[in-house]
Amino acid sequence: DVLRAMEEICVESSGWATKGSEVQLCLARREHVKDIMAFIRALAAFEQMSDQVKTSEEYLLNVGFGDRPRFYCFLAYSGSAPAGFALLHAAFSTWRGEYLFLEDLYVHEEHRKSGIGKMLLRAAIELSARLRCARLDWQALDWNQPALTFYQHKIGAEQMREWIYHRLSAESMAAFLEAEQIRD
């Protein structure tokens, strides 16, 4: 069970080292949705994409905390202050089977280089291993050199240069489908 594994990881994380601050890792629950939304907005601002955030607290409550959660989230607190988060969801590979996708990993600037990012990533890796996932995937912006260096040199992640990520927005999907109906 995913949530039970996440709870166990949160308990075990109390022994994981961070630099100079007491950090508590917890499994996000309904009452944390304001913090999750704040992290999403902070990450979007950091990535210079604030205008792209269309989700809301209500939406997160509906899709993340029902009978079939669409995402799972670890939160890190330094004292009582929110310090960082890692948001994951299940994915599937026809070649390898089930895996987790780390959608967002973010640590507030004042808590960076304290070990919190590594703690959150370790929790995601630990969860993937406990669930017997084939892999853990994530992406980073090409200009975020500190993150890229961290992932490759401190974690040992492989950069997948041969795969090119594609996306269709809701508007692009609608335009494509409309054009296809005209042709039919």
Residues annotated as catalytic are 151
Contact, 114 vs 20, CB < 8 A?
Answer: yes
Distance CA 181, CA 167 (A): 21
**Cβ neighbours of 118 (radius 10 Å):** 18
Sequence-distant (6+) residues with CB within 8 A of 177 are none
Cβ neighbourhood burial of 21 (10 Å; 0-12, 13-18, 19+):
middle
